[in-house]
Structure formats: C-alpha cells, structure tokens
Structure 1
C-alpha cells in the first residue's frame, strides 16, 4: 500500500490533545499538548497517547502533576471532547502505564455518532514484529507543523530496545517532535498500528525517535 493511502486511512483517528494544569488555588498554571489515537478499549472508548502528555514532572519535588482536564479534537469535527481527571463517582479517566514506560490513555465518556463512525473505519494493531529497514509513517500534530491538519513523517525501523521496567521500543529514523509524540506509528507494508511515538534520543548530529511497542498494553 502506498504511503498516501496509509495516511488517509489513519489520520481521522489521530487526535490533537491539549491538557490544562491548575494550581491548588484553582488558578491556571500551564498547558501541555500532544497527539493520540482513538481506540475501543475493554472499558470504553479512549485515546492512546504518551504518559508525558497527560502528566508533568515537577522540578522541585520530582513528583508528577496531572491535569484537571484535557480536550481532544479530531479532523473534520469542530467539537472538543473534554476528558476530566476523574468522574464524579471517582472513576479515573486518565490512566498511565504502571511501569516506567511512556504509555497512557484518556477515556472519553461522551462518545457520539462521530466517534462511533471512526471506530467502524478503524485499522488494527500490527500482528507481527517488523524487520529492520521496514518503512513506517508517524502521524500527529507537532508544534512546528499544522494545528489544523495531520503532519506525517516517514522513516524506517532502525533498531529495537528491550527494557524490563520502561517498556520495549522500536527505534526509528522518522522525525518525532514535541507535539506529535503520542500519535500513531503505522507500519506501511501492513497498514497497521505499530505503537506510540515518543521522545527522541539526540546524538551529536542526528536524532533517533522511539516507538513504544506493545500498543495494546493498556487495553
């Protein structure tokens, strides 16, 4: 399948996320933006994204701050979907991976026909591990790209990293910039969702990005 067809298939499901953090006195503190991909989970509909999109490490205490709410926006729909930290009954809508890996999800409680139609057209998780050199495409909303349309970057699988506590990652030559992390990494040959694009490792000249493997670990 050609890359333009892959992008057309997946871009409706990739969302722009903006999370707002507030101080204890309920005054606005700061915002964090990123990308995520819509999926149906066993306990509802949600957005799979990066942990660092929905939480922020505090420089003084080293603890993690979580936003009061995040807004989720899809292409072709002006509606903002609000995801609050927890429901009135105390059920958490923002769920991060329990280990040190950079995976998280947002549960959307106000699902509607637009989201239902997206899920009907949804692609699938990759069923095989790609070989080195296979082509991938990263979809998301980087801060240096358009905020009204998807930005796509292309690359290959460069290597694979194993970690006991921090998750397993594909290393890729595709560009992942602040903002499109959390989006979708698609294996071009199979047109399937490979994992969650995340931070880059910067070398002396170039940088290599990571893709969190096991995209269904939060299902």
Structure 2
C-alpha cells in the first residue's frame, strides 16, 4: 500500500448541464477525507452526486474548482496518460456488473490482469485467487447469462480485486439485488475491508447502512456531511 493511500476532496465544485440547457450545481465546495484502511458509506437521493464523487476519484470527471486526490494522484496534476495506471491501483464495482457477456467468469477477471501486461502464470494465479475470495472458483467457466445476479456481482468484485487494490470504490453494488443476496454481497465487501482495504460505498440501501453501521456521509444540497446511521 502506498504511504499516501488516502482519499481527499478539497473544496470541490461541479456543475452539470441538464438536457434543457439549464446548469445544475451538483457539488458545492465539498471536502471530505478518508484515511487508509477506513470505510465510509456515501448516501443521498438519486442525482445528488454520489456517483459523481466516485467518478472524480477514478478520474472519469474532474472538478471545476478544488482538487480530488486518491493515493498519489491529484485531479489538478495527473497526466491523462497516467489515468490507466491509477485505475489499475484501485478497484471499482458498479451496480450493473459491467461484465463481458461473451467471456466466462474466469476470462472476465483475467482480462483485468491481461491489460496490465501480467504474465500468463501470474494472470492464472491471481484470477483463481480472486474467484476463490468471492466463492466462485467452481463457476469459473460459466458465462454471465449462466450466473445469478449475485454471482455476477461476485465476478465483478473478483475482477475489481484481482490487481490487489488498496481501495475499493463501490457504486450501488447491491442496487440490482434482492435483500438476501444484497446482504451476502455487502458482507463480502465488508470482509474485504476488514482485510485492510479502504472502502467507499455509494448506496441508497439504508437498511444495510443501519444493519452494518460505519461512518456515513450524506450529500445534502450539494454538501457532504457526516450523519449518524441510526437516524436514517
């Protein structure tokens, strides 16, 4: 883990243009800090900016003012050519899985390693290790359409952790799952955090936030504030 493995937003502002041409301020002078190996939920209504904050951290969007920092990378200093390097050091999990439909579970995970230039032996060892961590070694040859929603999300998590990232950004990871499966996926993510991984999870599932309490950051009117999960 890099010694500066922290997450920082420093006075970040971002405005989107709505389809009708009207500007909408999504984030307004937002600052937050997460230490290495910590965990936090990011909550707020749809459109409040949860996904935007995560996208800033993996440098998919950039703030108009202020800076986003993750590990050794800063939004105001990063070279466009270094963005792929950043994304190899972090793990990202999406609500809609984003698996390649024509590849097996094994190949979906292996692909994330192959693009880094890892050796064939290293790809095999790390892919099987990641699938084992999510409990899907026995379904490594199954294609996404042969897997349940929960299993597809497990493959997506395996893909995200195959590069042994120090941080995992999860964007509504249980949003498409029923409550029982959502609990299983949530526990899996918490287990990864307990092993030392920094975890920032955007979610609208207050049931899980209350059941598995941790630091909770709420986006309210473009601001981020700490809230007590028991009050949700």
Structure 1 and Structure 2 fold alike (TM over 0.5): no
In our comparison, the structure showing a higher alpha carbon Rg is 2
Name the TM-score, length of structure 1 as normaliser.
Answer: 0.29
Greater strand content: 1
Greater helix content: 2
Report which structure shows greater RCO (CA 8 Å, sep ≥6): 2
